[in-house]
Amino acid sequence: MTFTDGAQCTANFVFSDATDVYIGQAAHCSGTGTATETDGCDSGSLPIGTPVEVDGASQPGTLVYNSWLTMQAKGESDPDTCAYNDFALVKLNPADYGKVNPSVPYWGGPNAVGATTQLRDKVYSYGNSSLRGGVSQLSPKEGYSLGDDGGGWSHTVYTATPGIPGDSGSAFLSKTGAALGVLSTVAIAPVTGSNGVGDVKRELDYMKANSSFSGVSLALGTEPFKGGPLP
């Protein structure tokens, strides 16, 4: 879990460059508006440099990249990019680098970055929201793709259990264990309780093209991917 000025989210994947280690969260986790303000090109956000508490870390991390702030500084105008580019990086304190494992809990992986999904393709995730009351059996989720939105910027998924507040930012894996996306929204259509998942490869490509983090890459899991039905 990450806590940005009190806002609770679930981290997604681990990233690194030549010197530093980062964890990903959703950009809206540092948002300053209401829960319905999801357009990154006009929604408010806490600034770069904001401290982020991270479960298990001895020191706070630091918000170093936020797609919303980057899009606003760039003057982004593409509506799909504005609506679905929802990604941020938190730089961990070097004292905590040795505690990091990039494997997605329960499922293992990721074994690659980027994936496409067809209707009814399996997807996998792990949400850590405190609203589940610490019932860890409810954290691993499996489900299906319901199709893409925004020209491929977003994947609509339905999982059991559905993603809930506090799961925002959590990782989604494809049926083969590739890093698919980042939980961004809770939807009422096309299926009540479905979720919008931002495409992580597009989000990374945007970050690399428009920020100083062009050398950051996704860390592959040390545990093999073991997709399949939940017990």
Are the beta carbons of 87 and 211 closer than 8 angstroms? no
More confident residue, 188 or 226: 226
Q: Which pLDDT belongs to residue 187?
A: 72
Is the pLDDT confidence value at 22 over 70? yes
At the topology level, CATH places domain 122-199 in: Thrombin, subunit H (2.40.10)
Q: Could you read off the pLDDT of 158-171 as tens digits, one per residue?
A: 998 778 778 899 99
Are the beta carbons of 126 and 180 closer than 8 angstroms? no
Q: Could you read off the pLDDT of 98-141 as tens digits, one per residue?
A: 999 999 999 999 999 999 889 999 999 998 787 776 667 778 99
Burial of 141 (0-12, 13-18, 19+ CB in 10 A): buried
Is the pLDDT confidence value at 11 over 70? yes
Is the pLDDT confidence value at 76 over 90? yes
The CB density around residue 117, as the number of other CB atoms within 10 Å, is 24
More confident residue, 201 or 167: 201
Alpha-carbon Rg of the chain, whole angstroms? 16
Is the pLDDT confidence value at 62 over 70? yes
Q: Average pLDDT of 25-50?
A: 94
The CB density around residue 51, as the number of other CB atoms within 10 Å, is 16
pLDDT band for 228, please (50, 70, 90 cuts): confident
Phi-psi region of 166 (alpha: psi -120 to 50; beta: other; left: phi over 0): left
Q: Which pLDDT belongs to residue 188?
A: 62
What pTM value is reported for the model? Answer: 0.94
